[in-house]
Amino acid sequence: MISISNVEEINYLTNFRKKLHQFPELSGEEKQTAEALVDELKLCNPTTIITELGGHGVAAIFKSPLKGKTILFRAELDALPIQEENTFEHTSKYSGISHKCGHDGHATMLIGLARMLKLNPLLKGEVILLFQPAEENGNGAKAVLADEKFKSIKPDFVFALHNVPDYDKGTIIVKNNSFTTSVSSLKITLKGKTSHAAEPENGINPDLALQEIIVAIKGLADNNVDSETFTVVTTVYANLGSEDYGISADYAELHFTIRCWTAKQLKKIKEISSTTVQNISKKHQLKHTLNWIFEFDSNNNDDKAVDYIVKAANSNSFKVLEKQTPFKWGEDFGAFTQQYKGAMFAVGSGKETPALHNPDYDFPDEITPYGVKMFHSIIKLIHA
Ligand SMILES: [Zn+2]
Ligand SMILES: [Zn+2]
């Protein structure tokens, strides 16, 4: 049995992760990253490699001649439009783009798993290592699922993990049912009429409507984390008029993200927001548009899949923490868990590690073996 605890293997994976970190690519543009992964996967002798899945997605399929369950593990390919603030040797080579969610680390964990499957071939069934594109904008999972090339893949179970700072390194965090929130973003435009800045009464300025909408939409928040109706409302962008001092503005734009524990609550909030924007626009004689974008389904964890995760952690003597409420971020793996039995779990990435999406974040390589071991143990448990 080849072990991931081997120092040479850990160094190999660390170097690979740092290479991915240096050449980050944005959602939908992960061509080079996918190529680097395919090169690495080819060394692991999978039965098949599928490329260009839902964009630049890659799936490596390991098949045993003996019948058994099909298990899919997912990692992500994309980085973020954030300027890296770290000055270490493996800092991002691309200005304004960096891996600030640890997707370089998650992909490396699956490479570690592929290397283990090469040396310890599957005894039965099938394992699919899916490297999914465009997670950060919520498009990738849906695109992979809709891709014709994915139709031949019929997983019995799907699994994914995410590293989470502020928890001890290697702690396995689990939860039944909702694991992440349902998220939707809202883009509103308001259109009135310009006039001379000296005569705003002759135009229709969306300034008051903009204010009223912010107050009303923010008012839908429910901060009670223990409640089913928990709702987070965040204003992410606002714009009114232009820097022309002779003109009373005629245009405004407002963007929010809304997160709820449940899909049901999100649906309710969406309906109220739409009516509110409509009423305020009407009152101020403004034309408006309203679009819901960047939608993430909540991860719906299956009890049996969570049970496998807990057993896998126990078999490795990893600390397990059962979370009481879902994570507040959206994760598009939800599109998989809404369709297949499966679960997402988290691996603590250290109390001292900066938060996800912070400019000084970097994936801590010490947790890579935890991910590889968890996935490998899950295979062993399901194929036992
Ligand atoms: Zn992210
Ligand atoms: Zn992420």
- Kindly report the CATH number assigned to the domain that includes residue 163: 3.40.630.10
> Is the CB of residue 26 less than 8 Å from the CB of residue 97?
yes
Q: Are 303 and 244 in a shared domain? A: no
List of residues 6+ apart from 128 with CB closer than 8 A: 59, 60, 61, 62, 70, 71, 72, 73, 153, 155
The answer to the question of residue 2 being in a domain is no
Q: Could you tell me the distance, in angstroms and rounded to a whole number, from the CA of residue 31 to the centre of ligand 1?
A: 19
Give the chain's mean pLDDT: 96
pLDDT at 366 over 90: yes
Q: Could you tell me the distance, in angstroms and rounded to a whole number, from the CA of residue 102 to the centre of ligand 2?
A: 6
Q: Which residues surround ligand 2, an ion (CB under 5 A)?
A: 101
Q: Are 308 and 290 in a shared domain? A: no
pLDDT confidence bin for 3, thresholds 50/70/90: low
pLDDT at 1 over 50: no
| Number of structural domains found in the chain | 2
The answer to the question of residue 64 being in a domain is yes
Measured distance CA(240)–CA(280) in Å, rounded? 16
Q: Could you tell me the distance, in angstroms and rounded to a whole number, from the CA of residue 103 to the centre of ligand 1?
A: 8
Work out the average pLDDT over 179-190: 95
pTM for the predicted model, two decimal places: 0.86
Q: Are 289 and 374 in a shared domain? A: no
Work out the average pLDDT over 208-228: 95
Q: Are 321 and 284 in a shared domain? A: no
The answer to the question of residue 1 being in a domain is no
Q: Could you tell me the distance, in angstroms and rounded to a whole number, from the CA of residue 354 to the centre of ligand 1?
A: 13
Residues 71-103, buried b or exposed e (16+ Cβ, 10 A)?
A: bbbbbbbbbbebebebeeebebeeeebbbbbbb
The answer to the question of residue 137 being in a domain is yes
Measured distance CA(365)–CA(349) in Å, rounded? 9
Q: Are 65 and 85 in a shared domain? A: yes
Q: Are 103 and 123 in a shared domain? A: yes
Q: Pairing relation of β-strands 182-191 and 251-260?
A: antiparallel
264-299 confidence digits (pLDDT tens):
899 999 999 999 999 999 999 999 999 999 888 889
Measured distance CA(103)–CA(163) in Å, rounded? 9
Helix, strand, or coil (residue 84): coil
Q: Given this model, what pLDDT does residue 338 score? A: 86
Reported as half-sphere exposure (CB side, CA atoms, 13 A), residue 8 has a value of 3
Q: Could you tell me the distance, in angstroms and rounded to a whole number, from the CA of residue 347 to the centre of ligand 1?
A: 15
Handedness of CA 14, 42, 141, 256 (dihedral sign): positive
Q: Are 290 and 304 in a shared domain? A: no
Q: Domain of 15?
A: 7-179+298-382
Taking Cα atoms as reference points, which of 124, 102, 171 lies closest to residue 310? 171
Q: Are 71 and 27 in a shared domain? A: yes
